[in-house]
Amino acid sequence: MKTIYIRISSIFISICLLPFFAIAQNLTKIQKVSLRIPDNTKIDGTAAEWDNKFQCYNNATSLFYTIANDDENLYLIIRAVQPRIILKILNVGVTFTAKENKNAKNNLSITYPLIGLQDGQSITANLGIKPLDIMPGKRPAVIPIFTSGKSDSLVNVANKLLEAKAKEIKIQGIEEIPDSLISIYNEQRIKVAVKFDREGFLTYELIIPLKYFGVSTENFKKFNYSIKLLSRTEVYKKGIRIVYSYASNGEQYDTNQDLDSTTDFSGEYTLAKRP
């Protein structure tokens, strides 16, 4: 019965995410266009200002994303729809790096959200994301359990937990700001937000002043950036364990290899002019 249950559940999750995979196929992997930030943009963990549409879908990280700017700020929005990717973000955060050019010595680096392991497990439990045991020799899967009894109140609980626990941003490589953890309520005008929608998908937003990485709309410079989901082994947290299993041929493997591997991509963005 267990094998049948998992097979049906796997088919069910594929059906639930099928529209997103179809959309992803029509998007570029790396953003090629320059965009201005919509005037009504709020950093609130939603993509309402973009009509829930994104410029790109990157297979390396399984993330939808859009980059934009105004005269003073750079803006990044990301959406994760796959449960394992959501788990990884809650484990290690999203690390965004930017530098004026490929040869620049210093990288601006921002990592958010920063959440304890147990807090992350509490958040995902409210969303109905749970691990399931599967056949010996197979890797464990984490899938969302979508039920008719799942209500807005459960998503609200998850978002309240997320808001309560994700209070700090990790900053590195900014000359004006010592490498440290800073509050999300900071004087440096770095704003972040992360939130779940009714489907349990996660949206992340970041806005950061352009002055911190040496670019300006006065000459519409290009800059290099990367978006990275670090391995859990690089961002050690209390309670994270590397669990090994053995295949039928006796080969040892990490049962959470997707969580314990770094995935990333990089691109080049040219600042958008004022209309």
Determine what percent of the chain is predicted with pLDDT higher than 70.
78
- The rounded distance, in Å, linking the Cα atoms of 274 and 131 is 48
79, part of any domain:
yes
275, part of any domain:
no
Q: What is the pTM of this model?
A: 0.83
Flag the least confident range among 11-15, 59-63, 112-116, 207-211: 11-15
166: containing domain:
2-270
Please give the residue that has the higher pLDDT: either 1 or 234.
Answer: 234
Residue 139's pLDDT is 47
Flag the least confident range among 49-63, 84-98, 124-138, 147-161: 124-138
Q: In total, how many domains does the chain have?
A: 1
Confidence of residue 136 (pLDDT cuts 50, 70, 90): very low
Question: 235-254, pLDDT tens digit by residue?
Answer: 766 667 777 777 777 787 77
How many angstroms separate the Cα of 165 from the Cα of each of 40, 68, 96, 122, 247? 27, 28, 20, 11, 38
Q: Report whether pLDDT(269) > 90.
A: yes
Q: Does residue 45 contact residue 205 with C-beta atoms inside 8 Å?
A: yes
Residue 166's pLDDT is 96
